[in-house]
Amino acid sequence: MPKKLNTILNTAVLEAKNNSDGKSASYIPELESVDPETTGVAVLMTDGSRYEAGDGQDLLITLQSTAKVAVLASMLEEFGSQKVYSWVRVEPSGDDFASIARLDQFGPLPSNPMLNAGSISLCSHIPGNHEQQLHWLEQWIEKLYGTQLKINNKVYASERRTGDRNRSLAYLMKSTNVINGDVDNILENYFYLCSFEATLKEIAYFPMLLANKGVSLDGERILSIETVRQVISIMATCGLYNESGAHLVRTGLPAKSGVSGLIMAVIPNKGGIAVVSPRVNRKGTTIRGSLMLESISNAMGWHFAA
């Protein structure tokens, strides 16, 4: 398989580069500093074998909304599903990731933990004082990605400066008693979460962990099987917001997108895959990344219905 997969990855990258649709997300100014032509993919199989293609392999990419999966998984581990689902529901929204109307009309609980409101709700329940909460996030990120990740301070500052829509979501949830405590601190947790950065091969570790039923490459159980089942199910139904259904039809891979041009996807029982290209559509999904995932999944027979 190594030679075949390398060929398929390289072909997927070259074909995706022919598409010049979309542009970098401008509402977080620091994200525009990345070369919009960057197009790359990394795969980590459960047996530890790695495959890469394209450029940007050494580029540090901010996790953005892909990190919502991390806070969901860690919350399920520490608090259990009954408690977590009293803070957020698990229904696909069919709406924009930062929709205020959705929360107001169908709330008070956010529809699912992949939406901004859902992740902010979970961030409001991180235990401890503010410093302890940030440390809690750092520790869980290290567990789930298999290495210590750093914060991109420029992106963090940019998130804080331009995050008024997220502030609106948070204050709406506070007004309905969905979240309690200091809104500014809760949002600091959320912005901090989104500002972790990693390389493609580091990002591919987390979906590999999910594909390996929560067991790390060195045999340590990080997540329970029940947590893994729930997280993968939510990724499949909600991970790309109002494009989740179309993505699953095309690729058959449970995934989570981020406006940095990143998608991480689970290849069930086989491995994890991460793609990046800053050119995103109006729904915040990387266009070239989606094309690469579809091409690779079909060529490798990774669609769950294959």
Q: Out of 51, 145, 156, 190, which one is annotated catalytic? A: 190
Determine the pLDDT at residue 57: 83
- CATH topology assigned to domain 65-195: Beta-lactamase (3.40.710)
Q: How far is Cα of residue 162 from the mean position of the Cα atoms in its chain?
A: 20
The reply to whether 51 belongs to the active site is no
C-alpha span between 250 and 109 (Å, rounded): 30
- Residues 61/29, Cβ–Cβ less than 8 Å: no
Q: How far is Cα of residue 84 from the mean position of the Cα atoms in its chain?
A: 18
* Domain boundaries defined on the chain: 2-62+197-300, 65-195
Residue by residue, pLDDT tens for the chain (306 residues) are: 667 999 999 999 999 999 999 888 766 666 667 788 999 999 999 999 999 999 878 899 999 999 999 999 999 999 999 999 999 999 998 777 777 888 888 889 999 999 999 999 999 999 999 999 999 999 999 999 999 999 999 999 988 888 889 999 999 999 999 999 999 999 999 999 999 999 999 999 999 999 999 999 999 999 999 999 999 999 999 999 989 999 999 999 999 999 999 999 999 999 999 999 999 998 889 999 999 999 999 999 999 876
Radius of gyration of the chain (CA): 18
Q: What is the DSSP string of 77-122?
A: HHH-HHHHTTTS------S-TT-HHHHHHH-SS-S-TTSHHHHHHH
- Name the pTM for this structure: 0.95
Determine the pLDDT at residue 306: 61
- CATH topology assigned to domain 2-62+197-300: Beta-lactamase (3.40.710)
The reply to whether 68 belongs to the active site is yes
C-alpha span between 138 and 150 (Å, rounded): 9
Tell me how far CA of residue 181 lies from CA of 15, 68, 124, 169, 175, in angstroms.
Answer: 49, 20, 8, 14, 11
Determine the pLDDT at residue 178: 96
For 91, residues 6+ apart whose C-beta sits below 8 A from its C-beta are 111, 112, 238
Identical fold, 2-62+197-300 and 65-195 = yes
> Nearest-5° angle of CA 175, CA 135, CA 60?
100
Q: Out of 13, 41, 43, 68, which one is annotated catalytic? A: 68
Q: Out of 259, 275, 276, 280, which one is annotated catalytic? A: 259
In the 8-state DSSP scheme, what is residue 163? -
The reply to whether 190 belongs to the active site is yes
C-alpha span between 94 and 102 (Å, rounded): 9
Q: Out of 145, 192, 241, 277, which one is annotated catalytic? A: 241
- Residues 100/165, Cβ–Cβ less than 8 Å: yes
Determine the pLDDT at residue 26: 67
- Residues 253/273, Cβ–Cβ less than 8 Å: yes
Determine the pLDDT at residue 27: 65
Which one, of 33, 38, 298, lies nearest residue 152 by Cα? 33
Determine the pLDDT at residue 24: 81
Q: Out of 24, 65, 121, 124, which one is annotated catalytic? A: 65
C-alpha span between 301 and 96 (Å, rounded): 31
Determine the pLDDT at residue 7: 96
C-alpha span between 12 and 26 (Å, rounded): 26
The neighbouring-strand residues paired with 23 are 280
Determine the pLDDT at residue 103: 85
The reply to whether 65 belongs to the active site is yes
The reply to whether 259 belongs to the active site is yes
- Residues 285/25, Cβ–Cβ less than 8 Å: no
